[in-house]
Amino acid sequence: MTADPHRIQATFAGALGSFSLDIAFEAPMRGITALFGASGCGKSTTLRCIAGLQRLSGRLVVGGETWQDDGAGVFLGTHKRPIGVVFQDASLFTHLSVHKNLLYGARRAERSGAPPTIRSDDVIQLLGIGHLLDRAPAALSGGERQRVAVGRALLSQPRLLLMDEPLSSLDQMAKDEILPYFEALHEQLSIPILYVSHDITEVARLADRMIILSSGRKLAEGPVRDLLERLDLQPETGRFEAGVILTARVTGHDEKFSVTHLDHYGQAISMPARDLATGTEVRLRIRARDVSLATRRPESISVRNVLSGTIMEIAEDPETAYAETLIDIGGGRLRARITRQSVADLRLAPGLPVYALVKSIAFDRETLSVAATTLPGNLSVTRRD
């Protein structure tokens, strides 16, 4: 394996009690790469190996710098690795204010000699925590604590940010509060993020790439959009929340009916109104359970989104009543979960033209992310080129 200055290259193998890990993967030095899988699959262990908190045999090269190479006798301790880590529990210093917790991260960077490329004022604004600086951690909500933990990690000037199930301890309201800030991190920061999660909704909304683990092994890796379209990965990605990602552009709003209109490669999509400027590109997650199929364009129905396409693949599960279908709609693909009886009655087969029906109300807050995110406090964050 030749060191690549633009990639994270990791190989780890070994046993921890009755559990064994044997994984090799690469990730770009930018954007969010998710380590995804069920509990106990090895994703947190992999993250701990990258952090140097767990030692297994292997090799780790980050942006061309070797952090571990057992063949060459190289192993940098955790304190020598320029990383920021955010765990499930924010783990803030309870005796220090928010401001002093942030200063701890900055002082850690000073001790390591890392150049201050990430400024505290920028982090405070990006995470919307300026009004929290004088508070004690005990006076913060769960989402606020995690935002402060992220800020502390960033001010340590990391080359790599590691996030281990950072939302798993939060309720849905707190998740809804913090997710826009995580999206802003994705858009604004140039440092890579390795993000551990067992929640496919989080991964679909935040990540660029995904590595799927099962029983300590890598099952698949690639762009999130590509892996979500693979019907063969459904046992790992989940049946109930299975779906795909489409990109669309806002074309206008209907104030009378509180509807936002979008365009996906010439096909119209409507959704409940969102405060988005015309021309904004959005990323939509459409769940397979929210898609129905018709062989003729339906008329006089309440479903607003009728997208024309062609069936690419059908996977029937003989042990259940259901079948998974993949439909090419031009510029993107949809998945639809229908009954096997519907497949037979409609004589569905690969190559058959169909119409995919998606209710507008299927687009809730969890299914939408935006390439330019406007955060509370009127801070507009866009991707750096």
98 DSSP 8-state letter = H
Are both 84 and 152 inside the same structural domain? yes
CB atoms within 10 A of CB 16: 13
- Tokens representing 166? 């950072």
Intra-chain end-to-end CA distance of the chain, in Å:
29
Are both 95 and 202 inside the same structural domain? yes
Are both 80 and 177 inside the same structural domain? yes
Are both 162 and 256 inside the same structural domain? no
Instruction: Report yes or no on 253 lying in a domain.
Output: yes
Are β-strands 281-287 and 368-370 bridged in parallel, bridged antiparallel, or unpaired?
A: antiparallel
pLDDT at 282 over 50: yes
Are both 222 and 304 inside the same structural domain? no
Are both 205 and 261 inside the same structural domain? no
359 DSSP 8-state letter = -
- How many domains does the chain divide into? 2
Are both 141 and 185 inside the same structural domain? yes
Instruction: Report yes or no on 350 lying in a domain.
Output: yes
- Tokens representing 67? 């952090």
pLDDT at 1 over 80: no
Tell me the residue range of the domain where 148 lies.
7-237
Contact 180, 146 (CB under 8 A): no
Domain CATH number, residue 270: 2.40.50.100
- In whole angstroms, what separates CA 32 from the centre of its chain? 7
Domain boundary among 177, 208, 237: 237
Q: What are phi and psi of 121, to 5 degrees?
A: -60, -40
Q: Name the residue with tokens 């599960």.
A: 317
- Tokens representing 345? 């009655």
pLDDT at 256 over 70: yes
Are both 306 and 352 inside the same structural domain? yes
**What is the spatial distance between Cα 56 and Cα 289, in angstroms, rounded to a whole number?**
41
SS in 3 state form for 201-245? Answer: HHHHHHCCEEEEEECCEEEEEEEHHHHHCCHHHHHHHCCCCCEEE
Are both 130 and 224 inside the same structural domain? yes
Q: What is the pLDDT of residues 330-384, one digit of tens each?
A: 989 999 999 999 999 999 999 999 999 999 888 866 667 765 443 343 333 333 3
Domain boundary among 237, 265, 293: 237
Instruction: Report yes or no on 379 lying in a domain.
Output: no
Are both 24 and 121 inside the same structural domain? yes
Kindly report the length of the chain: 385
Instruction: Report yes or no on 376 lying in a domain.
Output: no
Instruction: Report yes or no on 209 lying in a domain.
Output: yes
Residue partners of 139: CB distance under 8 A and separation at least 6: none
Instruction: Report yes or no on 385 lying in a domain.
Output: no
Instruction: Report yes or no on 1 lying in a domain.
Output: no
Domain boundary among 180, 213, 237: 237
Q: What is the pLDDT of residues 69-93, one digit of tens each?
A: 999 999 999 999 999 999 988 889 9
Domain CATH number, residue 203: 3.40.50.300
Pick from 131, 191, 127: nearest CA to 162:
191
Instruction: Report yes or no on 16 lying in a domain.
Output: yes
Side chain identity at 228, as an amino acid letter?
A: L
Q: What is the pLDDT of residues 189-246, one digit of tens each?
A: 889 999 999 999 899 999 999 999 999 999 999 999 999 999 999 888 877 778 899 9
Are both 231 and 314 inside the same structural domain? no
Contact 153, 123 (CB under 8 A): no
Are both 215 and 275 inside the same structural domain? no
